[in-house]
Amino acid sequence: MRIVLLGAPGSGKGTQAQRLIEKFGVPQISTGDLLRAAVVAGTPLGLHAKATMDAGKLVDDATMLGIIRERLAAPDAAHGYILDGFPRTIPQADGLNALLTEIGQPLQAVVLMEVDSEQLFRRLTGRRTCRECGRVFNVYTALPSVPPPCGGRCETPDLFQRPDDSEATIGKRLDVYAAQTRPLVDYYGDRGLLARVDAEGDIDLVTARLEAALAAASAGR
């Protein structure tokens, strides 16, 4: 399985990718997670990316393509992957296309996770991550306790808000999505790879819709 989850920040790409990896046994490749790990580790990449990320802007295409080229060469990606947050621009999509053509492993589907913008704002402002296990919660939807407990895996939930989930930065990220990433809907639509999924509502329901869309995409080729 070689797929891309496409969608605005807060559309649930990461949450749904986590569920697909369990079912399909392929890794989730989140460029946002890779960059955040580099920031925490203080590597040259992290130092390069931090200010851009905090401002809600996109890290340059050459850097992102370098990261993806390296990550896709890792042994665990040999049998497929779920790309989450990449590509985000047309040059990134072209670069990915060239890379995958070179190794003879084209993408199988690109799934657009559709969520209304008011919902996106609410999801992003409510998002919290556990410092211990990295799992993501939402103070609005992960009820009944607010903030929610860490699912029992971590002894003391230590939830934090991503710096780029501040209200000031969210608007910027949604604008960047509309201007630079949304054009990928037509890009992949024109190539016959796009499937659309209604990503609003119950998480299990969205997973079921996503799995149905992937089954339809694989039956169609």
Whether 19 sits among the annotated catalytic residues: the reply is no
| Rounded-to-integer distance, Cα 200 and Cα 177, Å | 18
- Check residue 9 for interaction with ligand AMP (CB under 6 A): yes
71 counts as catalytic:
no
Burial class (CB in 10 A: 0-12, 13-18, 19+), 44: exposed
| Binding flag, residue 113, ligand AMP (CB under 6 A) | no
Interface with ligand AMP, residue 64, by CB under 6 A: yes
173 given a catalytic annotation: yes
Q: Which of 19, 36, 50, 127 is catalytic?
A: 127
How far apart (Å, rounded) are the C-alpha atoms in residues 190 and 172? 28
Out of 13, 50, 71, 128, which one is annotated catalytic? 13
State the number of binding residues for ligand AMP (CB under 6 A).
17
CA distance 35 to 50: 8
Q: How far is the CB of 153 from ligand AMP (least distance, A)?
A: 21
> What part of residues 69-108 is at the interface with ligand AMP (CB under 6 A)?
85-86, 88, 92
The radius of gyration of the chain from alpha carbons, rounded to an integer in Å, stands at: 17
Contact pick of 59, 65, 174, 217 for ligand AMP (by CB under 6 A): 59
88 is catalytic: yes
Contact, 7 vs 110, CB < 8 A? no
DSSP 58: P
Collect all residues with Cβ–Cβ distance below 8 Å to 218 and sequence separation of at least 6. 108, 109
| 126 counts as binding ligand AMP under rule CB under 6 A | no
Q: Does the annotation count 13 as an active-site position?
A: yes
Token readout for 33 is 């997670």
Q: In this structure, are residues 112 and 177 in contact, taking their beta carbons and an 8 Å threshold?
A: no
- Binding track, positions 140-179, relative to ligand AMP; x by CB under 6 A: ------------------------x--------x------
In the bound state with ligand AMP, the residue whose beta carbon lies nearer, of 90 and 155, is: 90
User: CA 147 to CA 139: how far, in whole Å?
Assistant: 5
Which residues contact ligand AMP (rule: CB under 6 A)? 9, 31-32, 35, 52-53, 56-59, 64, 85-86, 88, 92, 164, 173
